[in-house]
Amino acid sequence: MKTENIPYKIYLDESEMPKSWYNMRADMKKKPAPLLNPGTGKPMTAEELGAVFCDELVAQELDDTTPFIEIPEEIRAFYKMYRPSPLVRAYCLEEKLGTPAKIYYKFEGNNTSGSHKLNSAIAQAYYAKKQGLKGVTTETGAGQWGTALSMACSYFGLDCKVFMVKCSYEQKPFRREVMRTYGANVTPSPSETTNIGKKILAEHPGTTGSLGCAISEAVEVAVGSEGYRYVLGSVLNQVLLHQSVIGLETKAALDKYGIKPDMIIGCAGGGSNLGGLIAPFMGEKLRGEADYRIIAVEPASCPSFTRGVYAYDFCDTGMVCPLAKMYTLGSDFIPSPNHAGGLRYHGMSSTLSELYDQKLMEARSVTQTDVFEAAEYFARVEGILPAPESSHAIRVAIDEALRCKETGEEKTIVFGLTGTGYFDMVAYEKFHNGEMSDYIPTDEDLAAARAKLPKMN
């Protein structure tokens, strides 16, 4: 076993936890493109956004100049219940792989919701409460965001209405019941409870739903209910801002031991964990102070970065949300239902999209059988049962470590381990039974969805 002066787990003291979130946009010379009003084609104003989102969150969404935004004391108090999260040196994995690479992972699965999503859920619930709202609505795909938001809402005494993508609602009854344990109201989407849900069901009978469709339903209910606003667990700038707590802690832990990563790897669904993990490192890169390789990993079945186009698109299927400029597959794109775990969104954070377009980061896609192979390997070696989403990052971290083994390079790899996979055992079961297949959309599939991008592009 390699022994070094670095512990298996690098913890921070409470006093070393970040007091502010870091807003990467402040250091970007070319800013991410603004959200547009789908009616007028003009940038959304704070007032327009305020009809859908909480006021303080709108201010954060639009702020691309303030680098540090203070974390309110109430949120820091909640963070202290489950943070700082450990940065783990994967000595066992290195040993097993026989690689000279040094591998670290930031583990965000150490809370009941089982993922990083709680970092933003608690912030969003706090601002909703502070505004005097009765409750919030949202959508959830695999269920982690809904779970995190349910926990956050129950902490602040807010009502929480969750539209859950139908195939997940059926495949993940335990997730659903965790949400209900925390007092949330969970509806399978598309549903008959909204106009857009009825319309989608009429056009696509028997559909298993999509995130874009659940978003439309949640927005419709928020806008139509007094004292409610809509909240979103990924994609938006405000979510990346809250998730910067991951990267700030990671950087503080590495700095304690004078470690400089060569590459930082994260899975990318809507981009929030990756945006949060890389934030302070990207900040250094943007300011010309340091350089890192940054790799986004996405499923081959939903490849927004690697096969999408950089264009304005609808964020939802019902086309009720603002338009965002992002790497997208088209809002009509619905990943194959045999795609097992998360990362199903058709688009990508506009901040990460701009950084990717400026070639400040890379992207790679991986197939789900390769992902589960890495997940199982990791579980057996490092003990943690990873979420399928997180395992996309594990796959590429292992691939890079194996490359170091060939070249003899002692690279330092940091990856984000976003959560645990206890509620994903149906997918693991399919993998074990050899029933998991790799559906990769054809160019024709992608062209069909792309044809429906808004005309303005």
Ligand X SMILES: *Cc1c(COP(=O)(O)O)cnc(C)c1O
Does 424 bind ligand X (CB under 6 A)? Our answer is no
Residues of this chain, 205-244, that bind ligand X according to CB under 6 A: 234
Piece in contact with ligand X (CB under 6 A), picked from 46-54, 313-321, 383-391, 401-409: 383-391
Contact call for residues 262 and 291 (beta carbons, < 8 A): no
- DSSP type of residue 318: T
Q: With CB under 6 A, what is the number of residues at the site for ligand X?
A: 20
CA-CA-CA-CA torsion sign (310, 63, 248, 72): negative
The verdict on 269 binding ligand X (CB under 6 A) reads yes
**Two tokens, residue 247:** 């990267």
By CB under 6 A, is residue 387 in contact with ligand X? yes
Q: Per-residue x/- mask for ligand X, residues 139 to 178, rule CB under 6 A?
A: -----xx---------------------------------
Distance CA 126, CA 146 (A): 16
C-beta of 278: minimal distance to ligand X in Å? 11
CB 175 within 8 A of CB 147: yes
270 near ligand X, judged by CB under 6 A: yes
Q: Which residue is nearest to ligand X (CB)?
A: 419
Handedness of CA 226, 227, 233, 239 (dihedral sign): positive
Residue 298 C-beta: closest distance to ligand X, Å? 9
Alpha carbons 20 and 71: distance in angstroms, whole number:
5
Least spacing, CB of residue 246 vs ligand X, in Å:
10
Q: Does 115 bind ligand X (CB under 6 A)?
A: yes
- Torsion, Cα of 370, 110, 89, 18 (10° steps): 120
Toward ligand X, which CB reaches closer, 88 or 274? 274
Give the end-to-end CA distance of the chain in Å, rounded to a whole number: 55
Map the footprint of ligand X across residues 388-417, applying CB under 6 A.
389-390
- Looking at the Cβ atoms of 111 and 272, the one nearer to ligand X is 272
- Contact between 347 and ligand X (CB under 6 A)? no
Question: 172 vs 411, which CB is nearer to ligand X?
Answer: 172
Residue 224 CB partners (closer than 8 Å, separation 6+): none
Question: Taking CB under 6 A as the rule, does residue 351 contact ligand X?
Answer: no
Which lies closer to ligand X via its Cβ, residue 238 or residue 273? 273
Write the CA distances from 181 to 41, 146, 341, 362, integer angstroms: 42, 12, 23, 40
Residues that bind ligand X (CB under 6 A): 115, 117, 144-145, 234, 267-274, 342-343, 387, 389-390, 418-419
